[in-house]
Amino acid sequence: MLGLTKGQRDLFVAATALKVLLFPAYRSTDFEVHRNWLAITHNLPLGQWYYDTTSEWTLDYPPFFAYFSYVLTLPAKLLPKHYSEDLLQLSRVPVEGWAVVGYMRISVLVTEVVLFWSLLRLSGSSYESSPAKVVALAIAFHPGFLILDAIHFQYNGFLFGLMIWSLVGAKEASREACLILWLMRPTTYVRGVLRGSAQLQVSGPLIMLHIYVYLAPAWFIYLLRTYCIPPKTGLTLRLKPLVQIGTVVIGVTAVSLGPFLYLGQGQQLFARLFPFTRGLMHAYWAPNAWASVTLIDRILLQAAKRFHVDLAVSSAGVASTSRGLVGDTNFAVIPDITPLHCFILTGLTQVVQLVPLWQRPSYKAFLQAIAACGFSSFMFGWHVHEKAVMLVLVPLSLLAAEDWNHYQALVVASVSGIIGLFPLLFKAAETPVKMGYSFVWLVVVCGSLRFSVPKPTPTIPSHLLDNLQTLYLSTAPVLLLFTSVLHPVLSLSGHIPPSMEFLPLMLTSVWCSLGLWIAWGRLNWGMWRGGEALPEVLPHHALRESTMPSPLTPSSSQEIIPISPPPYASSSKSKSKPIASTSTSTSASISTTLPQPAVFTPDSDLHHKIRTHQQEYDAKAEVQGGKRKARRGAVEEERDRAGKMSRNQMTERMPYRPLRVHLDGPPGLESRRGSSGKMTYWEVRTAKAEQQARAKVGRIASGRA
């Protein structure tokens, strides 16, 4: 099934079964919101979609999501008439019924296939081993999707699946991604970019859900820097890819907004999509920067009341402290925050965080920029919901296997972000599910990645930060114990007054915001610490194959130790002859270390030949069918066989008793040999691999490939 292994199929079936069992669980008002949108798009003409006020749950998502809601009504027409009429009726009151619940819940499960399929492609297209698979499974079975989609009710899995597909296109630059994303064109933001004959597909839910527009700067800089103003060319602008990108963006935007602008609904559409009158904070504070600011404001207000501190206190701010409603948020002591302030803060932080992507437009820097843009919008945005933390957690998960810093950022962000979602499920029946599932997920995912990500030698700052983070995470059980057990018990017994009923939500929001501050700092430090950028001259799929570590070369734990020749050794006395190699060991001047792989940088003509050769090879692989999959299987099989043949770590490092057998040929190089005096397995395979690679490059350069 979709190329899944048996273990992956079992996980998929188990997760699906759990979500089916949760059909009768709590569902928020978002359930009726989405059902009403189905009714609006089914019963009303296009011109009335954004004007209808039959229900209080008006349509306030972008046009492509409205089209998506209309598509969901099509299968509903196949249901028995009384079921479909109940499901698709316009009503002022919520519509209940098992048929309605079942259809809506099933629609979430079916659309989540987009997420599973995209993650399968993203992890299966890489040559990375277990960490990539762990990350893919971690996102697929993320507690956030269980809480938000399977219980609370939304379509986040579908939307993030579209975003993952865009990353697949950016990483692979393959025609297959072009075809798949073209078939998904109703949800595509950026259709495609051509650079010569190479193609990069970038699609996403940026017009499906307007909150994703905060991530658009990362895509813009990546496309601009990779295709229009590539590195090492100064600021030379390539007009052809720029025109192609602009044409695609304008075309897709016209399809999305054109019909409504033609009907003169631009102002109404803008008012629905960006309701600034809803206020800075939600009724439950999202764990972002404004939660910390609001806490400081409340502390200052209490200090002014209790200690008679001479502070200017706003009466509107005092009323806002206990209202608990969605609307304009006023501070009592601190000056009020306006949408302009949020926009400036978000924009400035994103500009600073996009500088590393401009300097090094690599795939890793692209992922970092996406995570950073999501972080900035969540931390400083206007009227941010706690659900938007998934914009942070999903990109961070894709970076977790890169290094120890990103792994630690994922750990603290996941704990804080997931606990920040717990108040959405406030009923006792769902408490064991949300806590138990999240705990198992955190233990399995973080434990698996901990042994896959190398830990560098700690410095004093990193050691202090790790310990501070560990201390912070150790307080999570205390928070959960108080908010879930102690506070309800003490409130019922009268030990906590009713005026303190907001305390669990406030503590949860503020505690989670501290963890996200730590993760945000780690992410920014990782971005500015930098890394090697991918060469611009090769497309991503060619780079991946050319820079892939060969399974036939020694790893770091299998290094070959050169030995100086004994004084009595002579090249004429050695009977063994090394296999012919292009290595420098047969030259007159012989080094005492093994040759390092040469860094090959082709010129533009040779690069064109390499690209053409790669396209011909891909075409042959498509015709023959399954050849690429067979090649990956052969590589994995060779890795397994080579691993079985390798000696243990103590023997490989050879701290004592190295074998000393002199090479045939000019003296000067000693290498570890077997007891028969022949070259080791690694030396033979390395020599063959180098010879084949050089021969292939020569054929391509001469045009004989």
pLDDT tens across 490-500, in order?
988 888 888 78
- Of 142-146, 189-193, 376-380, 578-582, least confident by mean pLDDT is 189-193
pLDDT at 142 over 50: yes
CA angle 137, 140, 141 (to 5 degrees): 85
Structure tokens at 207: 């017009």
| Helix 404-421 with 460-474: angle, nearest 10 deg | 20
Mean pLDDT of the chain: 76
Mean pLDDT of 305-313: 78
Instruction: Tell me the per-residue pLDDT of 196-209, one tens digit each, with 9 for 90 and over.
Output: 223 333 334 444 45
> Tokens 């690599």, residue?
362
442 and 589 together in one domain: no
What distance in Å separates the CA atoms of residue 74 and residue 67, rounded to the nearest whole number? 11
Helix, strand, coil share (%) of the chain residues, nearest 5:
65, 0, 35
Per-residue pLDDT tens digits for 452-494: 888 888 889 889 999 999 999 999 999 999 999 999 999 888 8
Cα 209 to Cα 206: distance, rounded to the nearest angstrom: 6
The reply to whether 532 and 555 lie within a common domain is no
Q: Where are the alpha helices (DSSP H) in 360-430?
A: 363-380, 390-399, 404-421
Does the pLDDT of residue 167 top 90, yes or no? no
**pLDDT of amino acid 407:** 94
Cβ atoms 77, 85 nearer than 8 A: no
Q: In this structure, how many other beta carbons lie within 10 angstroms of the beta carbon of residue 633?
A: 11
Contacts of 52 (CB under 8 A, 6+ apart): 40, 44, 58, 59, 90
What pLDDT score does 103 carry?
Answer: 95
Lowest mean pLDDT among 110-119, 157-166, 641-650: 641-650
Last residue in a domain, options 477, 510, 537? 537
What pLDDT is attached to residue 131? 84
Q: Which residues share a beta bridge with 198?
A: 195
Same domain, 630 and 515: no
Specify the pLDDT at position 235: 78
Residues 6+ apart with CB under 8 A from 264: none
87-105: pLDDT as tens digits: 999 989 989 889 999 999 9
Residue 110 lies in a domain: no
552 pLDDT exceeds 60? no
| pLDDT > 70: percent of the chain | 71
Indicate whether 644 and 503 sit together in one domain. Answer: no
In-domain check, residue 363 = yes
- Residues 290/280, Cβ–Cβ less than 8 Å: yes
> Given this model, what pLDDT does residue 649 score?
40
pLDDT score, position 646:
58
Q: Is residue 23 part of a domain?
A: no
> In this structure, is residue 138 part of a structural domain?
no
CB-hemisphere CA count at 13 Å for 457?
Answer: 0
Greater pLDDT, 672 or 389: 389
Residue 65 falls within a domain, yes or no?
no
If we measure between CA atoms, which residue out of 423, 475, 414 comes closest to residue 449? 414
Q: How confident is the model at residue 42 (pLDDT cuts 50, 70, 90)?
A: very high
Distance, CA of 665 to CA of 577 (rounded, Å): 8
Q: Are residues 611 and 504 in the same domain?
A: no
| C-alpha torsion sign, points 175, 226, 393, 30 | negative
My answer on whether 411 and 328 are in the same domain is yes
Identify whether 127 is part of a domain: no
Query: What are the pLDDT digits (tens) for 393-426?
Result: 999 999 998 889 999 999 999 999 999 999 999 8
Q: What is the pLDDT of residue 465?
A: 92
Of the residues 537, 559, 574, the one at which a domain ends: 537
Asked if residue 680 and residue 646 are part of one domain, the reply reads yes
Query: Residue 291, Cβ neighbours under 10 Å: how many?
Result: 26
Confidence at 143, pLDDT banded by 50, 70, 90: very high
Same domain, 472 and 584: no
DSSP state of 84: H
Q: Residue 234: CA atoms inside 13 Å, Cβ hemisphere, count?
A: 2
**Whether pLDDT at 298 is above 70:** yes
Which comes out higher in pLDDT, residue 588 or 78?
78
Check residue 305 and give its pLDDT. 82
Check: CB of residue 421 under 8 Å from CB of residue 144.
yes
Return d(Cα 678, Cα 576) in angstroms, integer: 6
Distance separating alpha carbons of residues 108 and 154, to the nearest angstrom: 7
Q: What is the pLDDT of residues 227-272, one digit of tens each?
A: 888 887 777 888 888 888 788 778 878 888 889 888 888 888 888 8
Q: Quote the domain boundaries for residue 554.
A: 549-702
Q: Are residues 413 and 497 in the same domain?
A: yes
- For 308: left if phi > 0, alpha if psi spans -120 to 50, otherwise beta; the answer is left
465: in domain: yes
Strands 193-195 and 198-200 turn out to be antiparallel
- pLDDT value at 567 more than 70: no
187 neighbors 205 (Cβ within 8 angstroms): yes
Residue 156, both tokens: 């986040």
On the CB side of 148, how many CA atoms lie within 13 Å of its CA?
Answer: 24
Residue 345 predicted with pLDDT over 90: yes
Mean pLDDT along residues 495-506: 86
Answer yes or no: do 476 and 596 share one domain: no
Taking the complete model, does pTM exceed 0.75, yes or no?
A: no
The domain boundary residue, chosen from 488, 509, 537: 537
Per-residue confidence (pLDDT) for residue 495, from 0 to 100: 86
CA proximity to 139, closest of 379, 449, 423:
449
Please report the pLDDT score of residue 504 as a whole number.
Answer: 92
Does residue 192 lie in a domain region?
Answer: yes
Domain count, the chain: 2
Contacts of 449-452 with CB under 8 Å at 24 or more apart are 449/131, 449/134, 449/135, 449/400, 449/401, 449/407, 449/410, 450/407, 452/130, 452/131, 452/134, 452/401
Give me 85's structure tokens. Answer: 């009429």
Dig out the tokens for 394 from the structure.
């999903």
- Which of 564, 618, 518 lies closest to 199 in space, CA to CA? 618
Same domain, 575 and 456: no
573 burial class (0-12, 13-18, 19+ CB within 10 angstroms)? exposed
pLDDT of residue 556: 38
**Same-domain status, 562 and 460:** no
Phi, psi of 447 (to 5 degrees): -65, -40
pLDDT digits (tens, 9 = 90+) for 606-655: 766 777 777 777 777 676 666 667 667 777 777 776 666 654 443 444 44
